[in-house]
Chains A and B, each alone.
Chain A
Amino acid sequence: MLNNEELAALDELRSHYPDARAAAVSVLRWMQRRRGYISDESLRDAAGYLGLPAAELEGLATFYNLLFRKPVGRRVIKVCDSVSCWMCGYEGIRDHLRRRLGIGFGETTADGELTLLPAVCLGNCDRAPSLMVNEELHGGLDGEAVDRIIDGSAATPLDAGGDDAAEPDARASNDGGDLRHDRAPVAPAVGGVAEITPIITRDIVPGRAPLDLAGYRAAGGYQGLRVAIGAMSPEQVRELVTRSNLRGRGGAGFPTGVKWGFVPQGAGAPRPKYVIANGDEMEPGTFKDRLLIHGNPHQLVEAMVIAGWALQADIGYFFLRPEYERGAELLAAAIDEAAAAGLLGDDILGSGWSFELHAHTSAGRYICGEETALLNALEGKRPNPRSRPPYPAVAGLWGKPTIVQNIETLACLPHIVVNGDDWFRRLGLTEDAGTKLYCVSGMVARPGNYELPIGVTLRELIFEHCGGMRDGREFKAALPGGASTMFMTPEELDTPLDFTHLEHAGNRLGTAGVIVADRDTSVVGMVLNLMHFFAQESCGWCTPCREGLPWIEDLLRDLVEGRGRAGDPQLLAHEMRMIGPNSFCALALGAEGPLLSALEKFPEEFEAYVRERHDGRARGKQGGTGSTAAATPSSASSQASGAGATAAGS
């Protein structure tokens, strides 16, 4: 039963949502925070409070990764098992934790203190391996650092403004978040291009709390909003964005202005219209939105108001993954400040136009980043994707016109409005426009976020900006844009990392989360890790993705663990080709990129796993606790790395 105090708190929570269903996830998260986990009783309480069937809430509670229906320890350790962390020693951390605590994943220590869980990419890939303890993020771990965390003697966790003692080169960090770019994010003169100052990370300074309203204004913030609302019509803003050639930074690269053009305008348009900032960043190898959210929330508030004005929307939502709880708080504070200053709310700047903004924190599921699944998630339904048509721009949230835009895309808007489309287009090194946040992780010397003109080559990025490969290792392969893009080999080092060139090369820029593998990293192991991710994050709606991806994972695990059979690589390719394009949404299509490109570009490595089993030899070295985590047959690595040698020294 809920007591009066609890009811009051829930009422406050509920007031942020238009209906009970939409509030459901927040209510469940609240229940969990207060009571440790969602017991049967809590589920019934929540159902009773919201007036929804318990079965419906159970459908949510059992869907999201971070809603617990079983008791958990006072501290929950979520160990990132995604690809960058895996490459940098996840398995060592995992095994250490298991030994130290005497429990496996999904279990709780006998004293009820600690629960161990695997976690999908924590967006901390440049400080891999990393883990979260409750809502505290830790990165750059080794066994000793893990012990200190368990013992409670670790330095202040990242999100709280400190850093881990274990971090080898003690990079800067700030109160607002774990700023991972190790220098001021300046794009240095590279390849003869004029030096530019950073744009969307301009006001993000390592080690400093994010700007408040006054500070942001002093730095020139909210000028874009004033220009847009004060001097431009919504149509003019839309045209400006179209001319700027801004393309969506969430992965698909769809031209923003074109998408906006689908939204019905005019007096007859359905209302309310919505703008949603997609901050559900969970693509392995991607941690750019975390930087923007934690580093400069006002920039995003301003951007949302500009987008809202351009689309004549009424309501905006930030949709954030639960690991960015601190970011949600910062955004909420920025929203309050902006509202108090009249930059949000009714009749903004005397325009007669009103816009409200809310921050919603999800409960953890990669699929929620898919825009139609996100809509269902926000409505409080099970976040299965929706079929298109109708497109969200026409019928989205609650059936009304809705634009879902990635955080980084939004961050560009104020600057485009202030500086013009021509300026923005010319920022790019290629025909693509603007700067791009490249998040580099894996086996490079200086992983981190780099805001650079869009179109730098992979070589420049790794060997100029990131200081080359870690410890002078040999470059083997890279995924240019997160888990769902295709492997690039040493031959492709000079490909500009932009939408156009990568599409040309049959690849995708994706999120520009560049994951770099060295010679000792097993591509098969990497792919297994990625397929585990995709199978795990399938929502379970359509057959190919739900049933097919676990099979793919199974086949790869057989290979890696020595049970592979002749023909398995061919079977993998065949199944992946059936699964990817024939699934309901693009999740499984994302899985196709790394697997098929690996099969195509590193066939010997797959065959080596098959062969070694037939040879009856050892399975190859286990990726232990060090930085080369993968199980790679020795023969495979020697065969596979051939062409990469020349890349290392440049």
Chain B
Amino acid sequence: MPAILIDGSEYEVAEGRNVLQAALDHKLDLPYFCWHPAMGSVGACRLCAIKHYRDETDKRGRLAMGCMTPAREGTRVSIEDPEAGQLRRSVIEWLMINHPHDCPVCDEGGECHLQDMTVMTGHAHRRYRGRKRTYRSQYLGPLIHHEMNRCIQCYRCVRFYDDYSGGHDLGAFASRDRVYFGRVEEGVLESPFAGNLVEVCPTGVFTDKPFRRHYTRKWDLQTAPSICGHCGLGCNTLVGSRYGSVRRVTSRFNGEVNGYWLCDRGRYGYDYLNADERLRQPTRPWGEVVAAIARAAAAGRLAAVGSPRASLETNFALRTLAGDGRFCAGFADRERALLRGFVAAARGGRFHVPSLQEVERADAILVLGADLTNEAPLLDLAVYRARQRQNAGVHVAALSAGRLAEIAASTDHLDPAAAARLAVRAAELVETGTAVGDRAQFPEANTAGRQTERAETGAKERAGTGEGTGERAGEREGEGALAGEIAAALTAVERPLVITGTLHRSEDLLDAAVAIVEALGARRGVPAWLALAVPEPNSIGLALMERPGEMGASELLEAIEAGAVDTLVVAENDLYERFDDPERLTAALRRLDALIVLDHVAGATTAIASHAVPVAAAAESNGTLVNNEGRMQRFYQVERPAAGVAPAWSVARDLALEAAERGGSDSDVAEPGAGDAPGIPKQGAGSGTHGAESTTGGPGDAGDDRGLAQTVGGWRHLEDVTAAIAVAHPELAAATEVAPPAGFRHAKQPIPRQTHRVSGRHATNEPDALQRPGRRETPIDRGHDPGDVETPFAFTMEGHTGPVPPALLTRIWAPGWNSNEAINQFQIEVGGPLHGGDPGRRVFAARADATGALEPARREGRGPAPDGPADDGRLLVCAAAEQTAIAGERDDARLLVCAAAEIFASEPLSRRAPALAELAPPAYLRLHPDRAEALGLRAGATFALQLIIGERRRRLQLAIETDATLPPHVALVPFGYPQTRWWQRPLWMRVETGGEVAS
């Protein structure tokens, strides 16, 4: 490590840093604007001026920019040098020539990097006496507010938006002192990462528009660390709230996961909390709910449905309430199979599951059947970064490539079966190729100019060849060549990565992806990388918690229909999103004696529930989630739920406790025959979770209600449940370690959720936030805020203000650093991991650097039998099931209707946020123009349509979109819309039009 001299003191710095980084690494205040840890140095703002001395004899030195001066061994610089200080002051003075000084009405006020730097440099007196330049600001859509007059031309916005994240519609215009950052014409910013402009802009040019509507200064916000719940990537967030409503979400740095960034769904999706569709009042008295459960439990007819959007603790408590064999995780069947497959393979070490930051380091990527832009946006960004950083070859085989089409070396619009087949073929080629990285080994790849040709002839030709959907891999020249190209690309590099998703709920796609990474791993002797984009924040966690014998969705339905279940408890789940036959589901649910739904939003299931019980939303509760890479992370409460509303885990606990008490007293007799339904064990019949495996349960008397009561009776706090999970699931044991315990105190003080501030107004208006005079015992004296016994935090601005463990960062604030740039002060090295390590614990062992040959681990007797297209018998994986299904049912009169993901519409919570709803396109049917024409569907118009699947008909109104890149046999419908909630898998459908609907 080089040592450099700053103002005469020696500092060790990491290799390859510049002086600005080095200074910040050592927490020395050196002001800057244009430099950004993720985006590097460009030397534009001239603020990080230092004095640079040639050697020890050089007494005069010369002014230089810290960001442009390499920190080499022996580099001598001064920050305190008066000339350097003068220049920094001057830079601020120059910037203030045109800055409007509207801090009191600016949303950035109080967390403005420009304010901080102005104070830090000491500029206080303006000598400029001319007029200020003014600009016209633009409408940039419902998410971002634009106020160009505040601009200080640091160029960070365009560098992030265009260069770093691949946007196109934000530009730097004009020149001299009139440089303008905006769009060519007013309109919605197109990038799904536009919200990050709010954070990269050092002042108030780009501000959070929804936040403006219910504006609160940073110091008035209660803020707590959270995990984004709007897809499965587990991006770290900070949620801010005030006066009973969540006001905004910002990114929380995690060097392993999201870095500095969030997608717009993650940033703005929170507003569903403030939308009308919240469930706020119980529909029946609590006693009735308890009675219903007690009765059903005693009768052995109780079942519970968990949710991949709920925490591990909620799911575990619910399963405990119902008993193992009577718990359904709440996945759709195919989704469940897919996740189980992934988890089993990941556990088996057959590949390495990369973090988002690792994805950025991949050097060849195959995206298989997934639309990352719309399914898991930050994964899209990571792939884009890999392209930029590693020059990674990106190959996409999917119906929609999203933004990746622009950077992909190849994009093939293939239906899921064809994509799987392509991947299987590529896996075969990887396996049979003999020399790593030698393209000559893959003769099919050596079709010079193929790429260009493909690009030019485009969709038409491929559409033509798409006729052969049912054919075997390799029989079509283009596909064989593509498989060869992909195989060659993945084989030639050090860190090949295959990404697939759950959009099509296709196990075949996963199998094919696994086949490739296994072939790559076998060839290299080091596991290759596989990432899965999952839709919900705890999809993987719930899959990891699954036990043998647990019910799937269909089994649950059958049990209800068979009468084996007459009371169902559903937590944070809308069953209508998990079944493809809503009529059958409704009929089954109507059979129930009681449908008890614990949720924080109203939906189709709460609408039909006999007992709807409001529970706390994520922002109102605490819990543990497992993201797509198997990282366990903790989210924390920032807002108090409405009176009488509790987190789902504690509701489940209370139900179990009270039902057990009541059930034990008046009913020891289960109805005979209740447990006879196939596969449904009798309530409390020995295989229960509670009991033997519970840390807090009573002694060995598992199986009776008193045992249950004792078990859950010990769960006073969330931590108790987490501890029980750790015992029941050793794999998840580290769940207790992802964050310090609730009792964590620093010098007996809790961690405040607010930044401290000394002001009379605050003392008057925010009594909760202060110790109340005259009160004997303050929250701080007790070490506990009375409202919050579940976390190390307090709903106050008082408490420990020093460094905290990284998982407990509530306030990105440090002396002199009020803006989010203060995160620098919490990192070991700026841009690097947080002090104490980036939060979260991985379930799957990090295998990125494992060495040694992989054991020829193979399939574990799961999925379709190996009788597919593996003609040489060596390739065990096949894409048979999907392919047979798709090919077998194929006929020209029908369309294979597949799901499309829409970033702002397909996720059921965020789509309720008003700003995002504004951006959601109307539900559409997207198909090849020729097919549209044949069906008499006019692009741009809305049609009343019937989609006919066998006997079933689905009537819906869809806007017609045409896309010539789609295979002619495919049509896309966005999932997650109310009218497409039933969609579960690609299916051949006949489309009948009921005519155009007048708009």
Contacts and interface: CB of A to CB of B under 8 A. Distances in A.
B171 A55 contact: yes
B37 to A, nearest CB: 18
Contact of B176 (A540, A551, A578): A540
B46 A59 contact: no
Contacts of B465: none
Contacts of A62: 173-175, 180
A547 interface: yes
A6 interface: no
Contact of B91 (A544, A571, A581): A544
Contacts of A583: 46
Given A542-B46, A543-B95, A55 B183 contact: yes
Contacts of A541: 44, 155
A40 interface: yes
Contact of B175 (A54, A539, A544, A558): A539
Nearest to B128: A551
Interface string A354-393: 0000000000010000000000000000100001000000
Contact of A59 (B86, B153, B171): B171
Interface string A546-589: 11101100100010000000000001000100100111100000
A537 B178 CA distance: 11
Nearest to B99: A547
B46 A543 contact: yes
A185 B130 CA distance: 48
B172 A59 contact: yes
7 contacts: A53-B169, A59-B171, A62-B173, A62-B174, A541-B44, A583-B46, A584-B43
A637 B128 CA distance: 28
B763 interface: no
Given A55-B183, A543-B46, A578 B173 contact: no
Nearest to B155: A541
A536 interface: yes
Interface string B128-152: 1110000000000000000000001
A582 B170 contact: no
A387 B43 contact: yes
Given A58-B184, A582-B63, A584-B44, A547 B97 contact: yes
Given A54-B169, A63-B175, A582-B63, 11 more contacts: A53-B169, A59-B173, A538-B175, A540-B177, A542-B46, A543-B94, A551-B94, A551-B130, A578-B90, A581-B63, A582-B87
Interface of B: 42-47, 49, 63, 68, 86-87, 90-91, 94-95, 97-98, 127-130, 152-153, 155, 162, 168-180, 183-185
A51 to B, nearest CB: 10
A422 interface: no
Contacts of B95: 543, 547
Contacts of B45: 542-543
Most buried by B among A43, A551, A575: A551
Contacts of B97: 547, 550-551
Interface residues of A, number: 37
A547 B175 contact: no
B186 to A, nearest CB: 12
A600 interface: no
B607 to A, nearest CB: 45
A54 B169 CA distance: 7
Nearest to B172: A59
A67 to B, nearest CB: 11
A55 B163 CA distance: 13
Nearest to B92: A543
Interface in A522-536: 535-536
Contact of B130 (A43, A58, A387, A554): A554
Interface centre among A40, A54, A541, A582 (most CB of B within 10 A): A541
A546 B172 contact: no
Contacts of A539: 175-176
Nearest to B133: A550
Given A53-B171, A55-B169, A544 B177 contact: no
Contacts of A235: none
Contact of B43 (A55, A63, A536, A542): A542
A495 B162 CA distance: 52
Contacts of B183: 55
A252 B465 CA distance: 62
B347 to A, nearest CB: 45
A547 B184 contact: no
A540 B46 contact: no
A578 B173 CA distance: 27
B171 A544 contact: no
A540 B49 CA distance: 19
A494 interface: no
A550 B128 CA distance: 10
Contacts of A387: 42-43, 68
Contacts of B173: 58-59, 62-63
Contacts of B176: 535-540, 546, 550
Contacts of B86: 578
Which 10 residue pairs of A and B lie closest in terms of their CB atoms, listed nearest first? A55-B171, A53-B168, A547-B94, A540-B179, A62-B173, A540-B175, A62-B174, A538-B176, A578-B90, A554-B130
A535 B173 CA distance: 17
Query: Which of A387, A554, A578 has the most chain B CB atoms inside 10 A of its CB?
Result: A578
A540 B153 contact: yes
A300 B766 CA distance: 77
Contacts of A575: 90
A63 to B, nearest CB: 5
A195 interface: no
Contacts of B171: 53, 55-56, 58-59
Contacts of B44: 541-543, 584
A40 B94 contact: no
Contacts of B128: 551, 554
A575 B127 CA distance: 11
Which of B128, B180, B184 neighbours the largest number of chain A CB atoms within 10 Å of its CB? Answer: B184
Contact of A582 (B49, B129, B184): B49
Given A55-B183, A538-B177, A582-B63, A546 B153 contact: yes
Interface in A1-58: 40, 43, 53-56, 58
B43 to A, nearest CB: 5
A55 B176 CA distance: 18
B127 to A, nearest CB: 7
Contacts of A558: 129
B178 A540 contact: yes
A581 B63 CA distance: 9
Contacts of A535: 176-177
Residue with the highest number of chain A CB atoms closer than 10 Å, among B98, B172, B174: B172
B164 to A, nearest CB: 15
A55 B189 CA distance: 12
A329 to B, nearest CB: 28
A365 B176 CA distance: 11
Contact of B94 (A53, A55, A537, A548): A548
Contacts of B127: 571
Given A62-B175, A581-B63, A543 B168 contact: no
Contacts of A536: 176
Contacts of B46: 542-544, 582-584
Contacts of A537: 176
A505 B152 CA distance: 38
Contacts of A581: 63
A586 to B, nearest CB: 14
A546 B43 CA distance: 14
Nearest to B47: A543
Nearest to A563: B129
A367 to B, nearest CB: 8
A36 to B, nearest CB: 19
